[in-house]
Amino acid sequence: MRPTLESMTLQIEGSTIAGIRLRDASARDAPRLLCIHGWLDNANSFVPLMPYLPAFDLVAIDLPGHGYSDALPQGYALHEIVFQLARVIQALGWSDCHVAGHSLGGCIAPMLAVASPALVQSLILIEATGPLSEEADELPARMTRSLQDRLHPERFRSRVFRDKSEAVDSRLKAATMDVSSARLIIERQLLQNSQGYQWRFDPRLRMASAQYQTEAQVRAILAALTCKTLTIIAEHGFLAGRVETSARLDCLAHHQSITLPGHHHLHMDTPEPVASAINRFVNVLPDLGG
């Protein structure tokens, strides 16, 4: 049998987590791969990679509040998302898995691997080396901004788009990516109503976080990782220009890194070299025959 794509939902603590699964149901002992997308993206961001990763039992989820997954009443603190991911792995019936995270997904994945190392066989971080950080003395201003955002939620309501092409244009203004990649993202991120289309993600995701980790805390998490880690960096992405990237990579004990042409969403725009790096890292040979 050939791998097939299927839509899926999981019930986690009374809320629905939606996703996409690629697997050959007849295959035994296929390596398990959980894919976690970036901020305001969704499971569709991993669809371009899927044809090049046929050896895996691959699950790409919509994080809570994104795509077709339910919003979280308790909010989206990183430690809460780590808990949700652990419960996703349990709900899938997996004892452990490889974890691939893009951007925000790659910020959360190392936290999961440190908090529950038995769940994570290896990490693949695409354009990510852990969460953004701030100096400790920036916390008072951050708390103020976060509270004001929560007190004025009307500022974060989605605009109305007349058609899908307007939504694609809006997405392209927020990130450098191919038009086809933007279309794929918005297909799972739009809600149609009598006025047109609006973003279906939880508007609270755009509010300021109440607290960032310090850089020392982020590096402590990276240094505590015991699993092997692959980082995939885009030549023109976010990591290449960040001063802390090199120091963060030095914290990783069992680490490989590769730099590829492209922008922040290189796993969508040019998926084949990204998938090849993943296949080599996990040591699987994809069957791409007819």
pTM of the entire structure?
0.95
Please tell me the predicted confidence (pLDDT) of residue 287: 60
66 burial type by CB count under 10 A (0-12 exposed, 13-18 middle, 19+ buried)? buried
For the stretch 108-150, pLDDT in tens is: 999 999 999 999 999 999 999 999 999 999 999 999 999 999 9
- Segment 82-89 shows an average pLDDT of 98
| E strand spans, the chain | 4-12, 15-23, 32-36, 57-61, 97-102, 120-126, 190-193, 196-199, 228-234, 255-260
pLDDT-derived band at 264 (thresholds 50, 70, 90) equals very high
User: Can you give the pLDDT at residue 61?
Assistant: 98
Write down how long the chain is.
290
Give 236-240's long-range contacts (Cβ < 8 A, gap of 24+).
236/176, 236/261, 236/262, 236/263, 237/127, 237/262, 237/263, 237/264, 237/266, 238/103, 238/127, 238/264, 239/127, 239/128, 239/129
CB count in 10 Å sphere of residue 125: 28
- Nearest CA among 74, 96, 79 for reference residue 15: 74
For 151-168, the pLDDT digits (tens) are 999 999 999 999 999 999
What domains can be seen in the chain, in order of their start residue? 4-142+210-282 (3.40.50.1820)
Q: What is the pLDDT of residue 286?
A: 67
Q: What is the amino acid identity at position 77?
A: A
In angstroms, rounded to a whole number, what is the distance separating the alpha carbons of residues 37 and 104? 7
User: Residues with catalytic annotation?
Assistant: 103
pLDDT tens-digit readout, 222-263: 999 999 999 999 999 999 989 899 999 999 999 999 999 999
Could you give the percent of the chain with pLDDT greater than 90? Answer: 92
Pairing of β 196-199 and β 190-193: antiparallel
pLDDT tens figures, 50-61? 999 999 999 999
Residues 170, 182: Cα–Cα separation, whole Å: 9
The overall average pLDDT reported for the chain is 95
% of the chain beyond a pLDDT of 70? 97
